[in-house]
Amino acid sequence: MQRAASKAKSDRSVLNWNQQNWRKYEIRHLPKYRNNSLIKKVLNQISCGNSVVDHKEIDVLSQKLTNFDARNDFLLFIGDCCEAFSDSSKEKTLAKVDFYKEVGSIIKRKSGRSPLVIGRLAGQYAKPRSSETEIVNGNHISTFKGEMINSPAVLPIQREPSPWRLLEAYRKSKQIAADIDREFGGESGESLFLSHEALNLYYEEAQVKFKGDSTIPYLTSTHFPWVGARTNRPQSAHIEFLSGIKNPAGIKVGPDSNICDVVTIIHKLRRLDSERPVVLFPRFGNKNILKSKELVSIVNDEFGKNVLWVIDPMHGNTFTSEEGVKTRSFEAILGEIEKFIGILYSLKIPLSGIHIESSFENVTECLGGPSAISERDLTKRYESLVDPRLNNLQTKYLVARIFAYKGVRK
């Protein structure tokens, strides 16, 4: 252990990495706070507080992903598009976790594989948006970017980024993580890990902590952080930040991703640890997923089993209905999964898992599927703060269907 810590210290010294290094890199999709003294005060409070997750849990997940065998294991990333502060009650949290575990049991029953369940939970409070402003009631106002950053309310003042929201996100995340740990932490084989997009780097930086007296930094805001398609450049602040922490990490890739950039990013994320688990989330959309084959082939040739392929069939299939409601088609979601499985099968690569945005409730946000939701149904129970989610029945049906495809059946 001493030799490992010494090596980590030496490597980080050579690379000159610290948790503030990201500020020197290409910064995108970060809020601009007006009150510098207040943001420093809030971040100091977070930094001095207890961790949302423990470094031992991060090590357990890292080991599980390092030993991951796609013939016998299956990754399930599941949860809300964007969490709401109001959904942080123990009752809501345990209902979500029960649902995630139920979906995991479907995977076990249908495939014989052991599900590794990772929730979009306890920190998924920030979202990058394609536009900085939107028109509401004829007025241009700042876009809602998740409750960690601003309010979904439509008054312009409520859309201003508030440092206090960082503190609230931290408190809610700790509460959720504690409720999960108390309810499920002691159950053998019942582990549920937490994940979110590491978007607001002020929030993330404040939660970098070290394991005991070692020099190895852990991001203790979550077990598994990922970088989205809008911030996944080799010289981006987000990639630089994730390159120095111990946690396993994921990268979203899509039609605009440059293959050389993706290879460079993976090397950068593994520069301190050649065995660090890296997950790629293709999110091309049903119409474009066949274009991912070259990327998959080149990355697989370079890294082999050291990169896990987890399809995100949600984000590339979003569109606006004739009534102006953001939605997704269940058939397009399923179609993208089927096509990507075909690509992997042709390259003799197993599918490692899926990454889906789902609700445990019977919301009406995505069209079609076993619920037969029509465009007229969308407004009946549309509750997502940002993007549409599969409902309870759609999620279970989708997961069950996946294992009927050649190349996924065990």
pTM over 0.85: yes
Res 190: pLDDT: 58
148 part of a folded domain: yes
Structural contact between residues 111 and 409, judged by C-beta atoms closer than 8 angstroms: yes
Q: Which two tokens stand for residue 15?
A: 């690379």
Q: What does pLDDT average to in each consecutive run of 10 residues of the chain (410 residues)?
A: 36 68 95 95 98 96 96 97 96 97 96 96 95 86 96 92 97 97 65 95 97 87 97 97 96 97 97 91 98 98 96 97 95 98 96 98 97 95 97 98 81
Res 241: pLDDT: 97
151 part of a folded domain: yes
> What 3-state class would DSSP assign to 150?
coil
Structural contact between residues 308 and 349, judged by C-beta atoms closer than 8 angstroms: no
Strands 133-136 and 139-142: antiparallel
CA pair distance 219, 285, nearest whole angstrom: 31
Res 303: pLDDT: 95
Res 405: pLDDT: 87
Res 16: pLDDT: 73
179 part of a folded domain: yes
Res 15: pLDDT: 58
Amino acid letter, 61:
L
407 part of a folded domain: no
Parent domain of 54: 2-402
CATH number of residue 222's parent domain: 3.20.20.70
Structurally, the chain folds into a number of domains equal to: 1
410 part of a folded domain: no
Does an H or E element contain 331, and which?
helix 330-346
Residue carrying the six token digits 């996924």:
408
